[in-house]
Structures are given as C-alpha cells and as structure tokens.
C-alpha cells in the first residue's frame, strides 16, 4: 500500500469511507465487518466516519460503534487512524440537520470518544458549517478540543477557500485536513484542492466515485473513464481514484464501501499509473 500524510501521521493513500455501512440500505453487520477487515488486510490505515452516520434516531454513532468493533477484532486495528466528525445530525426521518454550536461539538466529541473507546480521537473534523452559528465559534470549539488533548488532529469538512484560511488561522496553523465533495460529477472543489496543495493540508474527497447509488455507473456516465479503464484492463472506479491521486500528493480519497470486493477493487488504484494524456482527457470531462 502506498502512503500519504495527514498532519504528521502516515496513512494509506486511499482510505475507507464508512457511511454506506450505517445509513439507509446498509448491509448486515457481518458483511460490514468483513468489508472493514478486507480493507485492513489490503493495507488501509485510514477510516472515515461521523457520529451522523446512522439511520434511526436512537442509534447516533452507529458507524463509529461498528468501526470500533471491527478494529478491536483485527490484529491491524491498532494501526488505523480513525477520522470522525461532529456538527451534523440525523433526526431519523432521512433528513440531515446542523448544530455547529460549541456546546454541541464538545458534547459530540465526548460521545465519539466513548463509542470509539479511545482517550483521544486521531482526527476530528467539523462536519458542515451551521449558518446559525458564526464559523469562528464552531472552529474555536475544535481548537479547544485540540488544546485539551481530546483530539490529536483537527480538520474541517465542506469548506470553501475563505473558511479554510479562517480555520487554519483559528487553529494556529494546525489545520491538517479538508474533506470536501469531489468526483467526476462534482468538480467545484478544485479551488479548495489547489489551496490545500499550496498549504500542504490533506484533501479528502468524499463520494469520490459519485456516491452510493451512482458509483457503479461511473463508466457508463463518463465515457473517457471507461476508455482509460479498458486500456488498462481495470475498472472505471480504479481509474477515477488514480486520477485523483495524480492531482496532488495531498489528495487522500475515501471511497465508501459496504462490500469486501468493492473496497479491494478501489485500493488497487494506488498501483495504477496514468499517462499525462490520459489525465488530461479525464480532466476535460
């Protein structure tokens, strides 16, 4: 497994996104555990989760609990950086709501600590800006958690360039990651990716393959990805992840998965080398 860095921690160049294993349409626990274990066996040392990755109102933190169980039952579990998030909520009716208040973020962090069974969270990220709360107050709570040792590294998610700069300033230059939506269908985070490259901050594309319902359609929706995949004898999904990795050494994609075979396929992208003309063709999509 090739590696990259988040802050001062070396992680696998591709991580595992846990959301599909806990929201609507999720598999049974046995398959989810098998998926996480398959990722570990293949060299994954970064797993992304959030307290909001659950389906029903009474099961907040379902995905965190699942990941903690999977890591505790595998010999390589201790070597994994778990990145979780706070500030998003799911009332249980399928909707997503926000609470970026410092009080909520600190309480959410404490709950995540208990579910993950750790003394300090490896990477804690502010999930999404709350328009009712000044951004500086929300990030200030993340700074406090960092200063108190409740979290070891701090990140933000769904942030524009202005907020990346603001968060890094509030955190005293200690912002280590930005997690934004980025995929062939969603390219508007290019400015954030470039800024992270300039600052040496890890950029974690979420839904890099287009999301749970569309990941399997990538090749049919975007012909250049299918053409390059056929030329290399690999899946369009591998081509997509290799294309992202080629954009910058700060990029660490976190494709979601709920099947061992799909995460194994995604991880093979670290060994796929694309020619400059292929990258240019994919960039033009």
Residues annotated as part of the active site = 53
Using DSSP's 3-state secondary structure scheme, residue 278 falls into: helix
Contacts of 34 (CB under 8 A, 6+ apart): 260
CA of 102: how far to CAs of 30, 86, 91, 106, in Å? 36, 11, 20, 6
DSSP conformation letters of 140-208:
HHHHHHHHTTSBSSEEEES--HHHHHHHHHHTTS-EEEEEEE-BTTB-TTHHHHHHHHHHT-EEEEEST
Q: What distance in Å separates the CA atoms of residue 132 and residue 120, rounded to the nearest whole number?
A: 28
């Amino acid at each position: 497994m090739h590696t990259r860095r988040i802050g001062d921690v070396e992680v696998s160049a591709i991580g595992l996104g846990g959301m599909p294993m806990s929201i609507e349409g999720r598999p049974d626990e046995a398959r989810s555990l098998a998926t996480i274990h398959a990722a570990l066996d293949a060299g994954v040392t970064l797993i992304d989760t959030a307290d909001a990755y659950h389906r029903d109102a009474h099961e907040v933190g379902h995905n965190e609990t699942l990941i903690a169980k999977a890591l505790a039952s595998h010999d390589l579990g201790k070597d994994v950086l778990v990145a979780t998030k706070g500030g998003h909520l799911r009332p249980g009716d399928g909707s997503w709501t926000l609470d970026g208040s410092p009080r909520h973020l600190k309480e959410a962090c404490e709950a995540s600590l208990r579910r993950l069974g750790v003394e300090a969270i490896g990477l804690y990220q502010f999930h999404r800006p709350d328009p009712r709360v000044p951004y500086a107050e929300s990030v200030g709570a993340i700074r406090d958690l960092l200063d108190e040792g409740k979290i070891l590294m701090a990140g933000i998610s769904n942030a524009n360039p202005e907020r990346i700069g603001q968060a890094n300033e509030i955190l005293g230059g200690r912002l280590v990651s930005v997690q934004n939506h980025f995929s062939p269908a969603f390219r508007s985070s290019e400015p954030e990716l470039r800024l992270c490259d300039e600052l040496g901050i890890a950029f974690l594309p979420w839904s890099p393959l287009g999301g749970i319902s569309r990941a399997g359609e990538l090749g049919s929706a975007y012909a250049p990805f299918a053409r390059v995949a056929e030329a290399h004898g690999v899946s369009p999904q591998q081509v997509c992840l290799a294309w992202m990795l080629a954009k910058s050494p700060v990029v660490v994609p976190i494709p979601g998965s709920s099947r061992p075979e799909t995460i194994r396929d995604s991880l093979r992208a670290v060994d796929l080398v694309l020619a400059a003309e292929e990258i240019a063709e994919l960039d033009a999509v």
